[in-house]
Amino acid sequence: MSVVTMIVSTCFIAETTVGVTFYKPFNDALDDLRVSGSVLLHERYSPPWAIDIPDERVLRSALGAAPGVRVVPFHLVRHGSFDLRLSDGLPRKVDVHEVAICPNGSAHRMQSDERAAPIALTEVLANRGPPSEPDDPTATELICGVFQLSSGPLNPLLSALPDVLKVKTAGPDVGPLLDHATAMLGIEVAKGQSSFVGSRILEVLFAEAVRTYGESEGATVSGWFRALGDSRIGRALSQLHERPGTPWTVAMLAETIPMSPSRFAARFREVTGQTVMAYAAGWRMTIACRRLRESDACLADVACAAGYRDTASFSRAFKALVGQSPAAWRSAQRRR
């Protein structure tokens, strides 16, 4: 577990009303992402201006990121505002002291208004960006960059995130870690060079932005974040994450809550949108992917850690969910 994850998780226990029920699955999924980050630009743009951000494939190539790494752009507004447009064309207003994160990696446009001719991000990074007038009160000050997430394909946190995750970063209702992280990022960026501290601040920024979104009303309507906040289903998820190698059944998990197996199974599916055993299998394969990628453990040990008694059943389940055999997947990851 990274130091950043420990800090964020500790504050999570102290601040959230969900407490430990939320903490364990969220912490595990966050830690699995192995978040890193970098700032690409810090500029002020006078209207009219527009910048086109390419899709994840182009960004990954430009940054030299491995094919298995998800590249997630972020845009933090220090002054002013802008409209963010995905391919659906609908504008999403991003105001001062807000950060917009785009987890799905879709191409999008940042613009002050529709009058501006867009400039490609590559041109901006080559110091050929939109003009800016000194001390222009209408200018928008931005810190833009990317988060790089190194995770298997089944991490439940990733699938629970929206196309555009937007949260406030300052104000009376903002958590202190998020407030401090954005303030400290501004200080580090002003130094004009990347730093170890700046990279750690970006990790905190990502974790706190996701946590803030996960506690919001919109996130808890359905899906994984709603499940974490459910007093019973959340406890069941914590049991799965606490002991993933246990040969869980619906009846065993229901007994820990307690609920009848039928009511528990129905409630779990209603809240999460998937069956109990489908979630359990997905999380076990997330654990397996991590071990296959980061260790030289033999297949039998990986299978055991993921809750499988023999490698044959593990290999069949892995291929069904991931699309490759464990050995082929590990080989592909090592080549990357």
Confidence at residue 65, expressed as pLDDT on a 0 to 100 scale? 86
Give the whole-angstrom CA distance, residue 130 versus residue 136. Answer: 14
CA distance 194 to 189: 8
Tens-digit pLDDT string for the chain (336 aa)? 554 554 444 444 434 444 444 679 999 999 999 999 999 999 999 999 999 999 999 999 888 888 778 999 999 999 999 999 998 878 999 999 999 999 988 999 999 998 899 999 999 988 877 777 778 999 999 999 999 998 878 999 998 999 999 999 999 999 999 999 999 999 999 887 677 888 999 999 999 999 999 988 878 777 899 999 898 999 999 999 999 989 899 999 999 999 999 999 999 999 999 999 999 999 999 999 999 999 999 999 999 999 898 999 999 999 999 999 999 999 988 876
Model confidence, pTM: 0.88
Among 118, 127, 63, 57, CA closest to 85: 118
DSSP state of 193: S
Report the residue count for the chain: 336
Q: Is the peptide bond before 47 cis (omega within 30 degrees of 0)?
A: no
Residue listed under structure tokens 């000050």: 141
Query: How many Å separate Cα 110 from the centre of its chain?
Result: 21
Type and span of the H or E element at 232: none
pLDDT at 296: 93
What is the token pair recorded at 206?
Answer: 């990502």
CATH 1.10.10.60 domain residues, the chain: 230-335
Q: Which long-range contacts (CB under 8 A, 24 or more apart) does 276-282 make?
A: 276/236, 276/250, 277/248, 277/250, 279/156, 279/237, 279/240, 280/240, 280/244, 280/248, 280/307, 281/317, 281/321, 282/154, 282/156, 282/321
Q: pLDDT at position 269, please?
A: 95
The distance in angstroms from the start CA to the end CA of the chain is: 24
Contact residues for 128 (Cβ-Cβ < 8 A; gap 6+): 119
- pLDDT single digits (tens) 105-154: 899 999 999 889 999 999 998 887 777 777 899 999 999 999 999 887 89
CA distance 295 to 159: 25
- The single-letter DSSP state of residue 45 is E
pLDDT given for residue 16 in this prediction: 41
CB 51 within 8 Å of CB 121: yes
Q: Where are the alpha helices (DSSP H) in 66-145?
A: 121-125
Q: Which of 156, 45, 23, 176 is nearest to 111 (CA)?
A: 45
Per-residue pLDDT, 127: 81
C-beta neighbour count of 323 within 10 angstroms:
10
| Cβ neighbour number for residue 41 with a 10 Å cutoff | 16
User: Position 325: which residue type?
Assistant: S
Answer whether the bond into residue 48 is a cis peptide, omega within 30°: yes
Q: Specify whether the CB–CB gap between 214 and 225 falls below 8 A.
A: yes
Residue located via tokens 């609920």: 259
pLDDT of res. 13: 42
The values of phi and psi at residue 69, to 5°, are -95, 130
- Using an 8 Å Cβ cutoff, are 157 and 279 in contact? no
From the options 1.10.10.60, 3.40.50.1240, 3.20.190.10, 1.10.10.10, give the CATH code of 230-335. 1.10.10.60
- Rounded Cα distance between 201 and 147, Å, is 11
